[in-house]
């Protein structure tokens, strides 16, 4: 596969790889490094990449596995979940603070979810993947994906109800 063809195949979903890496790893820098590593690994497989039925699913699986390995490594003590993709210059200071507070609450809630539920929720509700794609990426059965998603949403809903009803902790 030539470089131009590789870029046409891989670049459309590069941002999805980054967002998944950012969801699983600490910082923007860690996510950028992970994304770059995955792109390098994909390039090293450029001769055989056309054999894969779904290159995007393969790349997402590589990203997930790379990030999980990273979290398990010795560097894991320095890592935490950070999600700061939201910004809007046309809002007032109060609205910005409220939005940042909401993002922080979602981060806390997502941190409390089991890893599998966190990934299913990220892939389905943030990345907008279909159930069959999630099954393939996470190597899970459709029923297990639906159950994990349902449990994750239920936990998020319960925690948000606590917050908005001024329940503490």
Q: Is the pTM of this model over 0.75?
A: no
Longest dimension (CA), the chain: 58
pLDDT at 4: 81
Chunked into runs of 10 residues, the chain (169 residues) has average pLDDT values of 79 88 81 89 83 85 85 56 48 76 81 88 85 88 93 88 65
pLDDT at 149: 92
Q: Give the residue among 18, 13, 16 at the shortest CA–CA distance from 29.
A: 18
Q: Domains of the chain by range and CATH?
A: 3-78 (1.10.1740.10), 93-164 (1.10.10.10)
Do the Cβ atoms of 137 and 64 come closer than 8 Å?
A: yes
| Alpha carbon 130 to chain centroid, angstroms | 15
pLDDT at 86: 46
């Amino acid at each position: 596969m030539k470089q131009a063809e590789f870029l046409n195949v891989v670049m459309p979903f590069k941002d999805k790889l980054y967002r998944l890496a950012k969801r699983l790893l600490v910082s923007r820098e860690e996510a950028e490094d992970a994304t770059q590593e995955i792109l390098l690994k994909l390039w090293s497989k450029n001769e055989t990449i056309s054999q894969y039925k779904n290159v995007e699913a393969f790349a997402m699986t590589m990203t997930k596995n790379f990030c999980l390995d990273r979290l398990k490594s010795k560097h894991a003590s320095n890592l935490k979940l950070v999600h700061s993709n939201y910004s809007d210059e046309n809002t007032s200071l109060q609205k910005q603070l409220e939005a940042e507070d909401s993002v922080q609450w979602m981060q806390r809630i997502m941190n409390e979810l089991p890893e599998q539920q966190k990934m299913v929720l990220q892939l389905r509700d943030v990345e907008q993947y279909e159930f069959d794609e999630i099954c393939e990426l996470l190597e899970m059965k459709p029923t297990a994906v639906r159950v994990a998603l349902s449990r994750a949403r239920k936990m998020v809903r319960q925690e948000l109800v606590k917050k908005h009803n001024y329940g503490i902790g």
